[in-house]
Amino acid sequence: MSESEKPGIHNPPRRVFGLKYLVAAVVLVAAVLVGVSAVETVAPLAVASGSVTNQGSQVAYATFHGIGNYYVHAQCINVNATRTCPVLVSMSLTADGVLHNSLYTRSLTFKVVNAPGTTLAVEVDIYSSPATSYPVAYGLDQPWSPYVTITTPSNAPSVTWTFMIIVRNAPVVDGRMALQIIGRTQVVDSHFLGRTYDLTSGVMQLTDY
């Protein structure tokens, strides 16, 4: 019997063939892990609002096409006397009539532009929705633009987060409250390898009547 006819002579090639598949699988898994790591380190994509719309003197919203809308609704009464103005702020993930249920809001920022002496506070117990606790950070963009950033406590997709921001010492021009607001939101796509978006609105101007 020749060497090629001996039993078991074909086993080594089979083992080599199986080893090739094992190596290919390891390489594929490594490539996926590298891809995930690369996505995680990619900087968020900056997106400016496509438009800003006023609905009366105390309501405005900024539209981010394909993502959602950032709303502000001032509820000021006799602001010239009290210099205090509550503003309802929310981020809706519905755009062009479509609810984007793969997106979630990671944080929301409310900033008043050109407002020397103005301070902000977040009304926690009464107006926040969903009702829960969340981290809040205050800051000031020079020279006179105070802001507050609220980090949402969950990554539930498509949730519309709503907060009440109290504006103290609101700017008053000719006896009228005059707020210039810029909204910022970080929105994340929860799909596998989804992107993070940094949304910035145009200036939304509100008055008390």
Domain at 132, CATH number? 2.60.40.1470
The reported pLDDT for the residue numbered 25 is 53
Question: Are 60 and 11 in a shared domain?
Answer: no
Dihedral through CA 95, CA 97, CA 165, CA 136, nearest 10?
-50
Question: Are 72 and 15 in a shared domain?
Answer: no
Question: Are 35 and 138 in a shared domain?
Answer: no
Q: Which stretches in the chain have pLDDT values below 50? A: 4, 9, 17, 27, 29-39
CA angle 202, 162, 199 (to 5 degrees): 30
The reported pLDDT for the residue numbered 147 is 97
The reported pLDDT for the residue numbered 32 is 47
Q: For 20-63, what is each residue's pLDDT tens digit?
A: 555 555 545 444 444 444 445 578 999 999 999 999 889 999 99
Question: Are 57 and 144 in a shared domain?
Answer: yes
Residue 44: phi, psi to the nearest 5? -60, 150
The reported pLDDT for the residue numbered 24 is 52
Question: Are 14 and 50 in a shared domain?
Answer: no
Who's near 193: CB < 8 A, 6+ residues apart? 35, 36, 39
Question: Are 21 and 91 in a shared domain?
Answer: no
Question: Are 72 and 113 in a shared domain?
Answer: yes
Question: Are 79 and 61 in a shared domain?
Answer: yes
**Distance in angstroms (rounded) separating the CA atoms of residues 167 and 107:** 19
- On whether the CB atoms of residues 16 and 24 are closer than 8 A, the answer is no
Q: Which residue has the tokens 């009547």?
A: 209
Question: Are 183 and 83 in a shared domain?
Answer: yes
Question: Are 165 and 185 in a shared domain?
Answer: yes
Question: Are 143 and 194 in a shared domain?
Answer: yes
Give residue 202's domain range: 45-207
Number of domain units in the chain = 2
Report field, pTM of the whole predicted structure over 0.85 = no
Please spell the DSSP secondary structure of 102-158, one letter per residue. Answer: TEEEEEEEEEESS-TT-EEEEE-TTT-BS-S---EEEEEETTTEEEEEEE-S---TT
The reported pLDDT for the residue numbered 35 is 47
Question: Are 135 and 75 in a shared domain?
Answer: yes
